[in-house]
Every structure is written in C-alpha cells, then in structure tokens.
Structure 1
C-alpha cells in the first residue's frame, strides 16, 4: 500500500506511546494511536494517516507473551506498507531478559523489516536523557530555586537504579542489551555527526559489514537527531527498517521528512482538536510510587483525595472505594486516587495489583464519566487504558514535556471523546496535577 502511512511505532507502554504520538502530530503528521493492530474499519474512520502507532503493555511482559503480541502487529505494519517501524521503549531503557526484553522484540519484528541496519537511538534530550559513548544518563528530580537538576549515570540514578520491576544495573546500553539477546552491538558515537559529509554513512556501513545485530547511536543534544533522521529516511526507502529507542526516533525522522509547512496541518476526521471540549470534574489515578509523583500528589491541593491499598483491592473493598470516588465526582469535586505510599510493589503480585487498579478506573469511568482523566504510572496506564475498552487515541495538546493530552476513541458512546492524560512516574513538574484543571492545554 504505497499510499499508506510511512511511519509506524509500537509502544512498549501506553505513556511512552502517547509521547511519540504527540511528537509526530506536532510535527504536522496525521497520526493515530491504536490499542491493537488497526482494522480496516478503524483506519477508514481515522481517515488518511501519515503515521500509525500501536500501544501495548510489552514492557511488563515475558518474552513469549511479547512475541505473541508482536507477531500480528509486525505483520499488520508490513501489510500497510510502513517503511520504518519504531519499537518505542522508555527513554531510560529499563527492561530485562525476563521482562520487557528489547532483544526479544527485535528478534520478533526484524523478519517483517529486513533492512540490515537496526539502529538503536540512545537519549532524548527533551526529557533530559543523554547517551554518550554508549552510556545512558538521566536527570534526577528538579531542585529548589529553579536550578538544573543533577544528571546521573542510569545505573546510579536514585529512582531507575531501584525500579521495582526492572532496576537499571548497567549504564552501557551495549552491555545492557547484550543480556537481552543483542550481542556485539556496534556504536556510532556523537563525534561522527560533526565529521565530513559521507563519513556517517561509511561508519554505519562498516558496522553492518561487521555483522553487528544492531547499532547504537549516541544522542547528547537535539542537533544530533538531524543526521540520524536523514540516515533513517534514506535507509528505509529501499528496504523497510526497524528502529529502537524513545520518542527521539520519531523526532529524528520528522526532522528529515516533515511537511514543508507543518503549520498547515490538516486534521484527520477523528482528530482530537475537533468538537466541543467536555466539562465537569477531573479524575486522577496515581499508581506510580516514584518520588516525582509523590511530590505531585503532595502539591495537588484542588482535589479530594482517596488513598487505597492496592494489595487489599478485592471485591468488597473495590465497592467501598468506588462509592467514595463516584460520590465525590458527582458532587463536582476533582478526585485524586492514589496507591498507599507504603505499598511494597516489589514484593506484591504485580500483574494482580495493576489489573485490580485498572478495574477500579474502568468502574469509575463507567459510573461517572469525568470530563478528563489522568493515570500516572507506566504499567498502571497500560492496563487501565486497555480496561476502558476504547480502540484509539488522538492528540489534543501537551500538559508538559513528555506528557500528552489525548482524546479517547471508542465504539461506546459514553467513552468516545473523553480526554485522557497518561503520565510516566518521572514526568511533569511539581504542579502537574494542578495544571490538569486548566480548561486549555500548554502546547
């Protein structure tokens, strides 16, 4: 299908997938994010698209489950004529051989996108994630007085080195991914971007001729994305290409291929910018236990709060929490529901906990449709959005860097058009939840 979307992305969680959706939409590309490989009917409803995405919970899956989910998605992207498939991972690359294996994703998808180059883009400067000489760094929490936050090597990052499911214990992404089935990775360090024309191509060809299974590209600043984007665009023209990385992959590709005048972006028929804005209270569910989310909860003064112990979310307690939340929403109050700060996520049955929280979100939305909902936490977001029963998201605007406001598309009238914000645990400033109450968005 030569007239189909040129760019496809598969998000290993929902929060990151909406960030990629936002970057492509803001660059002027008609983009839609689906929850499953899209049907012909859904594509017809969306109208002409330049880019399509599929959001998943792959980062919380074992390799066999990942393969089962990725095979039909890879086949569908290839059938639609996608030239470059972006396997979208978290900008911190947190994953392991047992959970969210990036190597397992590459081995599954590469058969559909047989280009000999498999670029892995490290770093997303807009989120203060940097890759230098193959090593990944990430900023910590903001400091008082507006000073720039400290930057840590990822294996010494105060949060990511202690992640409850996939702690980052190695900063060199080549070694980190070697354990996941990508040995002998090549490296293009940042110095090659400032060399003479043709030098970068020669370096990449050398890595391919050395039979590297994948090639890691440093990214220290946004300017480094332009030469990477040109390389992606050129190499994917002849043979469909699989690329791995955070939303910086989409940024790089957009730099090389964006419409001549992206300000004249023509919305698709279901674009989120169309139609009246909903009114009513805001509902937030915070399942993340990150320090950044903790500070945002503490600063959320415009909400009635409901604290839950997810380990105790059984049939009986679910009704009690549900009644409290719905009663507050019906009285017009904004509601912030959050998991107990003392909850030991590492020792709990993780899937059971996230599914229970997702069921609670679904029942709140069914009982009392809020005008806007926000779900904080990568895995919590993935399970909760799947539980809602919609089929896609389109872009409305940005709340903060790395966090998009979207509109839910569903066949159920009560859900269709609801505004939804998915926030990773580390994303957003201290006043993030307060900013959700604004009628407009900060794009």
Structure 2
C-alpha cells in the first residue's frame, strides 16, 4: 500500500492519477482522512494538503500529521509529492518537510526527482529543465508566488534543509547502479539523492530500484515509476463513467497555459465573467455579482467561465496596488464563494484551473475526497465524490489549450 502526501490539491490529483494509470485503485482525501473512514477498497491513498506556500512550521505540522494518519492505515511506502518545477519559497517547504518526515521514519537516505517528462520536466546532472531550458531561465523565473532563479537541485534543497544533497547521475541510473550510488551517498553522510531522469524509462528504472524504500519524494513522474513496480500483472481498474450534469469553470491561475485555456473558452463563445479585484476588494460582493450574472444566462450558451486570470502586466498592477498575498486571498475567497453558489444552483461538474484556486474551491465546498476517475487530460483526472459532485482540478500549466472547453461540454 502506498500513501502519498501532496503539497497542493492539483499536485495530489496528478500523483493520484499516476498511480491509477497502472491499475492501482486510488482514493484521494482533501486534508487528513477521518481516522475511522471506510472508503472504497483501495491500494493507495493520497492526502492533499495546502502547504507549498505555508509557513515552515505549518507545513511541517500538517505533513507530520498526515504521516501519522498514513501509518495508522498501515502504508508500507510514503511518497512526498512536490511540484515538478521544485517551486517553494526560499525558506522551504520541500526541505523542512522532508527533514521532519525522514527523522520521524528514521530514514538515512531519501531518493527523489522532480522529473516528469510528460510535462516537459527533466533532470540531468542534478539540473532541472523545463522543456529545453533550465528552470532558472524558464517562465518560473517570474512566478508571482514562488519565483525560481536557480536550476541546480542539490543547491536549492540544501538552502532549505539541514542536510546535504547529492546526485544519482543518468549514467548510474541506466547502468542499474541506483542502489550502489545510494549506499555511497549514505556513507558520505548525504541525506538526499536527486535522481537524474530524462524519459519515462528512466523513471521506471528508478521505481524498480526504490520499490522497497520506506520514504521517496518527487513529482508525479517518479510516482508513476513506483506504481509500475507495485502494480499487479493484468490488474486494471474498471472504466470510469463520464461525469454528468451542469458544468462551470473557475479559473484563478495566471499561468501562460491557463491564459490560453481561458482565451479558448471565450473564443468558443462561452459566457465569461471576470472578477475585477481592483474595482472591488470584498470577496462576498465579488461573488454575489458573479452569481447574479450566472442567474441571467441561457443554458443553451454552454458551461460558463468565472475567472480572475490576468496577463502579466495586468497581474503586476493588481499586485502592486493590493499586494501579492492580499490580492491572492481576495481571489481565492471570492472563487470559493462562487463555487458554493454554483453548486447550490445545481452545478454538478466543477472545473477549477490553478492549484491555489482548486484548494479554495475544495475547502469552500467541504469536499472530503473521492475516487480517482478518468483523465480529461494527462495528469488531470475527474474526482468522483460520494455526494455525486464531480471535480476536475487542473494545475495552472497542465492541459492543452482546449481543455476547459472540452471538459465542460
């Protein structure tokens, strides 16, 4: 049994679907699962936290509590899921969380990699690439919350951790020498081993080498490699039913891909409403106006879009006027209230774009979790809840430009 702890909600869905793809029955909880919960029969459980930009103390406390809950369920392997762009604040939280969990589990060496080739993330000689450019030269250099200006992963991790970090090179991976290299790093007093991987075959190799490791970390790519090693031959999940009912799209991400997806919704003629936080800083009135607009729509117009996504120049104006944290808090609170109002009005398919946005939606709706279903895009699965609500939680950079249009048909 695998237990995963994810640092945001969309990352949790990404790792959950990486497990499900290999026929591993997976359930997802938003926050700590109830101690006595009896979910459908499953092989893996994923706990979605919201710790990527939390304080170090809060991130460690939440992650440690999640570890305790997983241990009480008898998990044999714990997987710490972080973003494939390794982004967090300068002080953490990848390092502090891993330090705490490794100490709690008495694990001397933790292997990890953010490599996720299907999403254009690869690690070579310890450097992280986004597409064909280094992380520090990619769009992540200008991320509004977690700007990444360094590409060398051991250096990034050592800034956050009390321990040293080293590299398992691509040559060592492909020579089948991962175990030997981990032993060398342990003898040198190195706690963290960043494993090179530039394609899915490298991740499968790493998964086989790490199948018995009690604590592993990384993006969804390595989780898929571990799932391949754990999967039982010939075992497949039953086909997931397509979600039904009225749909609505909520977008708060300002990533380049989400902006393309928002533009595609508008170009497709879908009704669209923009939350203008410069004009109104009250989340309640922002949501009230958006829902009043929704009430005027003709159902024949198709699933609507309510968004706060903005081009970089517009986003800078908002952040300069209101501050990064305050503007983000207003948007998240407003979108959460909109989600509540939409469900009260009969929406049964909620599609959310952005990690922080998705966290706000899930918290506002009080959804405890659900069963992982079919993917609307690679790494973007439908989540089926016991109440009949279906959620699609999309990371800002995930999906093709037409994803929101297609998923909300």
TM score, norm. by length of structure 1: 0.84
What is the alpha-carbon distance in structure 1 between the residues aligned to residue 328 and residue 95 of structure 2? 22
Q: Deviations over 1:179-203 (max 9, x none)?
A: 11154202101101222x5x33221
Partner residue, 2:371 = 394
What is the alpha-carbon distance in structure 2 between the residues aligned to residue 114 and residue 249 of structure 1? 22
Partner residue, 2:397 = 426
Partner residue, 2:99 = 107
Structure 1 spans left out of the alignment, 5+ residues: 1-5, 140-150, 268-272, 410-415, 439-443
What is the alpha-carbon distance in structure 2 between the residues aligned to residue 180 and residue 192 of structure 1? 26
Partner residue, 1:144 = none
SS at match of 1:294: helix
Q: CA deviation at 1:29?
A: 0.9
Q: CA deviation at 1:213?
A: 1.6
1:78 aligns with 2:57: no
1:33 aligned to 28, 46, 68, which one? 28
Q: CA deviation at 1:374?
A: 0.9
Partner residue, 2:207 = 229
Partner residue, 2:264 = 299
Question: Which deviates more, 293-302 or 24-33?
Answer: 293-302
Contact 1:278-1:371 within 8 A present in 2 as well: yes
Partner residue, 1:247 = 220
Q: CA deviation at 1:256?
A: 1.2
Q: CA deviation at 1:109?
A: 1.6
What is the alpha-carbon distance in structure 2 between the residues aligned to residue 246 and residue 326 of structure 1? 40
What is the alpha-carbon distance in structure 1 between the residues aligned to residue 47 and residue 335 of structure 2? 19
Q: Deviations over 1:111-140 (max 9, x none)?
A: 34323221121311111110000000012x
SS at match of 1:373: strand
Partner residue, 2:248 = 283
In the alignment of these two chains, the number of paired residues is: 397
Question: Which deviates more, 161-170 or 357-366?
Answer: 357-366
What is the alpha-carbon distance in structure 2 between the residues aligned to residue 332 and residue 368 of structure 1? 16
SS at match of 1:328: coil
SS at match of 1:95: coil
1:89 aligned to 75, 82, 90, which one? 82
Runs of 4+ in structure 1 off by over 4 angstroms are 329-332
Map 1:155-194 onto structure 2 (within 5 A): 155-157=136-138, 159-194=139-174
SS at match of 2:385: strand
Q: Deviations over 1:298-321 (max 9, x none)?
A: 111141010111352413333212
TM score, norm. by length of structure 2: 0.91
Question: Which deviates more, 301-310 or 314-323?
Answer: 314-323
Contact 1:60-1:379 within 8 A present in 2 as well: no
1:435 aligned to 399, 406, 409, which one? 406
Contact 1:123-1:130 within 8 A present in 2 as well: yes
Partner residue, 1:257 = 230
